């Protein structure tokens, strides 16, 4: 929330040029489009895929909806995609939306929210996010989903006009209405034609922590001993639920070394498994290096974060 607030803050934007290569940065989404085309051409070169007769089903670990939105753009660019599968963890707002047409926050607190592993980056959330073994997907709402809704609203509600500018304005007003309800009421419901338009391109699967651990273990036991991180394991779990689909691509979105404790939880008892064999050379000794941290009190809010950034930039300028 603070990152979004900073980008929308006129005071800091008057003096700083902020950039963040996170999931709400559209430049990152543009780069992620290449994953889908690379997968397509890899399948073509394999000789097992006939591009004139088959389409591909992509299964994507999804939290903030950036990576799978890139897949949507790839499809709109002409890539033969039969379905984009939203593979989510127990923070399942997107799964619930595709089932009901309702996009609603369902915060949990206390014991109901507890889970995941602190060593892998899990943090308690005052907003009510469920803590899981796949912390990069622990979200209450998906920041990029409103971008998809804009395109859907553009096509559904702008169908009566041929004026491109009018279509854009209609879509913008509709998304603004939905987002306003999300902020004030905690959710909104879309009309049937909107949900049908989303479901034409997307499906969704919800995967639990227990299923994630089981998939990491099962895939490791296969020939080759491939080691999945918990986020990628969610995609593989979802893909395995649709064995009749001949051509599926499950996107791997993280290295297992980044989520070491979850991987060790799944594979500690497996014969021949040693986590040091997974650790990239660049990671060796990293835990012994000094850390540089800057703290801002939550009570100081956006004002405190703004001051920290300005002060740090000024310090760097004095070194020049």
**Which tens digits make up the pLDDT trace of 30-89?**
999 999 999 999 999 999 888 888 889 999 999 999 999 999 999 999 999 999 999 999
- What is the model's pLDDT at position 3? 79
Kindly indicate the confidence band of residue 112, based on its pLDDT and cuts at 50, 70 and 90: low
In this predicted structure, the answer to whether residue 131 has a pLDDT above a threshold of 80 is yes
Predicted local distance difference test score (pLDDT) of residue 111: 65
Residues 6+ away with beta carbon under 8 Å from 197? 152, 155, 156
- Supply the pLDDT for residue 115: 78
Q: Residue 313 CA to chain centroid, in angstroms? A: 30
Question: What pLDDT score was predicted for residue 68?
Answer: 97
pLDDT at 1: 66
Instruction: Note the pLDDT tens digit of each residue in 46-58.
Output: 998 888 888 899 9
Give residue 162's pLDDT: 93
Strands 102-104 and 187-189: antiparallel
CA distance 239 to 57: 9
pLDDT tens across 262-301, in order?
999 999 999 888 887 788 888 888 878 888 888 888 888 8
Residues whose CB falls within 8 Å of the CB of residue 82, separated by 6 or more in sequence, listed in order: 55, 56, 57, 245
Residues 59/248, Cβ–Cβ less than 8 Å: yes
């Amino acid at each position: 929330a603070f990152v979004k607030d900073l980008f929308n803050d006129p005071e800091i934007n008057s003096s700083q040029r902020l950039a963040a290569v996170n999931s709400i940065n559209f430049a990152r989404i543009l780069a992620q489009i290449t994953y889908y085309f690379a997968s397509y051409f890899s399948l073509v070169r394999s000789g097992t895929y006939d591009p004139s007769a088959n389409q591909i089903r992509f299964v994507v670990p999804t939290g903030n909806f950036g990576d799978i939105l890139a897949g949507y753009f790839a499809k709109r660019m002409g890539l033969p995609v039969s379905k984009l599968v939203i593979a989510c963890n127990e923070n399942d707002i997107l799964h619930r939306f595709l089932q009901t047409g309702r996009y609603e926050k369902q915060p949990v607190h206390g014991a109901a929210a507890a889970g995941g592993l602190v060593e892998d980056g899990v943090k308690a959330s005052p907003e009510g996010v469920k803590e899981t073994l796949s912390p990069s997907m622990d979200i209450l709402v998906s920041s990029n989903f409103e971008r998809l809704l804009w395109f859907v609203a553009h096509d559904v509600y702008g169908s009566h006009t041929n004026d491109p500018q009018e279509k854009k304005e209609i879509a913008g007003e509709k998304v603004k209405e939905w987002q306003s309800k999300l902020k004030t009421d905690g959710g909104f419901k879309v009309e049937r034609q909107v949900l049908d338009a989303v479901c034409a391109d997307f499906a969704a699967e919800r995967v639990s922590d227990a299923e994630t651990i089981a998939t990491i273990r099962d895939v490791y036991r296969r020939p080759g001993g491939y080691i999945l991180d918990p986020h990628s394991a969610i995609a593989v779990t979802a893909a395995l639920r649709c064995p009749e689909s001949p051509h599926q691509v499950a996107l791997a979105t993280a290295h297992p070394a980044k989520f070491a404790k979850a991987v060790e939880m799944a594979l500690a008892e497996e014969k021949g498994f040693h986590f040091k064999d997974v650790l990239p050379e660049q990671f060796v000794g990293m835990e012994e290096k000094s850390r540089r941290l800057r703290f801002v009190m939550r009570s100081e809010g956006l004002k405190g974060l703004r001051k920290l950034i300005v002060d740090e930039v000024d310090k760097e300028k004095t070194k020049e």
